[in-house]
Amino acid sequence: MEAHMFRKHKGKFAAGSRNRYQGSHTPQNPPKKKKIWQRVLLAILLILLALIVAIVIFVITSLNKINRVDPNQKRLSQEEYDQMLETDELDPNATYPTVDENDITFSTTPDGKIIGREEHIVNILLIGQDRREGEGRARSDSMILVSFNKNTNKITMASFLRDNYVQLPDGYLPNRVNAAYSIGGMEMLDETLEMNFGVSIDANLEVDFSSFASIIDILGGVDIELTSAEANHMNGENGWGLTSGVNRLDGEQALTYSRIRKLDSDFGRTNRQRNVLTSLFQSFKNIDLTQALGLINEIFPLLTTDMTSGEILGYAMEALQMNFDSEHSYRIPAEGTYTGAVIRGMQVLVPDLAANQTYLMDVLYHTDNNQ
């Protein structure tokens, strides 16, 4: 009986042992699919990181190709400035009354407020320089303020007409505003605009006319709507066969369009310049990353700026997320805020500085619902 019990118990023990062994040592299949996905995700992550590093290196290399303004550039001496006055452009077809320069009184800016000192406003001045190959610093033929308003998410452009007769810093005799650049470059021009119109300039970007045309060609041209008068004027000089309506303009054509003045005035000319810039911005905004990187590498060597690489990247990222106010065209002086005059043989516009600063504040801060 004991033997039987032993065998029975032994059998139970043996069976129990076998069950426990099987239950605790049954080999589990490893989660192969999970490991495969982990490897795939890791590979994708490494590829993305490599691409980001490559893009960053490429962008940094491209940024180094931009021409930087010389921080030690000198201003013209008073003697050099006097010589420039003697050879100043005289307008034989002047229609405004002749005024003695000593009779001009410049109004002051209201409350001493400076536009653009707030953190939500960034003002960048685009400078088109009327410089020919081999020449040094020339007058700024085009001055367009591009203002980023982070509160409204809008980019607004306002042109400063070159014939604005203004005060100049450091005791230089008053002159057209475009003379400031030839006297002392970007810094002098920025000081002049702040002194007269109360607007603070955060950064500058300059291009001469030859480079401007090249940039248009690199981007594949711009779509511009021409009037019959504009098309006929451009065709008459060059035989291009342009028509009224939307035309795809190449670099030379876009430059010619931007410089038309005979049809109307400098007011119309600055409006055309803003049309070209708006079309350029929209075209660049719609291209993909690969195209953008290629274009940047070609365009950057044609530009001159006082911005750091970090500022350029920061402003570019902000601009791509904003909308252009392309419905309105702004210029300084505003309509009804200036007097035409001939001073030292120059046909100029004498602006009401206080009125124009108020106008600029309304435009850039969007405080006037009618703008």
Q: What are phi and psi of 229, to 5 degrees?
A: -65, -40
Tokens standing for 327? Answer: 């419905």
Taking residue 348's Cβ as centre, other Cβ atoms within 10 Å add up to: 28
Minimal CA–CA distance to 251: which of 301, 217, 226?
217
DSSP 215-251: HHHHTT-EEEEEPHHHHHHHHHHH-----SEEEEE-H
| CA gap 300, 60 in Å, rounded | 11
- pLDDT at position 103, please? 92
User: In this structure, are residues 197 and 357 in contact, taking their beta carbons and an 8 Å threshold?
Assistant: yes
CA–CA distances in Å: residue 38 to residues 34, 44, 45, 48: 6, 10, 10, 15
pTM for the whole structure:
0.77
Q: What is the pLDDT along the chain (371 residues), one digit of tens a residue?
A: 444 444 444 444 444 444 444 454 555 555 666 677 777 777 788 787 776 676 666 667 777 888 888 877 889 998 888 888 876 666 676 788 999 999 998 876 555 677 777 888 999 999 988 766 666 677 888 899 999 998 888 889 899 999 999 999 998 999 999 999 999 999 999 999 999 999 999 999 999 888 889 999 988 899 999 999 999 999 987 889 999 999 999 999 999 998 887 787 777 888 888 888 888 877 777 777 677 777 778 888 999 999 988 888 888 888 878 887 766 679 999 999 999 999 998 889 999 999 999 999 888 887 654 44
- pLDDT at position 30, please? 58
Angle at 347 between CA 343 and CA 348, to 5 degrees: 80
Q: Where are the domains of the chain?
A: 52-67+78-365
DSSP 148-197: EETTTTEEEEEEE-TTBEE--GGGPPPEETTHHHHHHHHHHHHHHHHHHH
Angle at 71 between CA 68 and CA 76, to 5 degrees: 115
| CA gap 168, 47 in Å, rounded | 55
In the block, residue with structure tokens 């002098």: 188
| CA gap 131, 139 in Å, rounded | 8
Architecture of domain 52-67+78-365: 3-Layer(aba) Sandwich (3.40)
| CA gap 272, 255 in Å, rounded | 10
- pLDDT at position 10, please? 44
| CA gap 61, 294 in Å, rounded | 12
| CA gap 212, 331 in Å, rounded | 21
- pLDDT at position 38, please? 73
- pLDDT at position 116, please? 73
Encoded amino acid at 91, one letter: D
- pLDDT at position 8, please? 44
User: What's the farthest any 2 CA atoms get from each other in the chain?
Assistant: 141
Taking residue 108's Cβ as centre, other Cβ atoms within 10 Å add up to: 11
Beta bridge partners of residue 203, listed in sequence order: 124
Beta bridge partners of residue 29, listed in sequence order: none
Q: Are strands 67-68 and 304-305 parallel, antiparallel or unpaired?
A: parallel
| CA gap 249, 246 in Å, rounded | 9
| CA gap 171, 192 in Å, rounded | 12
The conformation of residue 100, written as its DSSP 8-state character, comes to -
Q: Cα dihedral sign for 242, 246, 248, 250?
A: positive
Encoded amino acid at 181, one letter: Y
- pLDDT at position 15, please? 44
Residue 40 neighbours by CB under 8 Å, 6+ apart: none
CA dihedral 72, 73, 78, 79 (to 10 degrees): 120
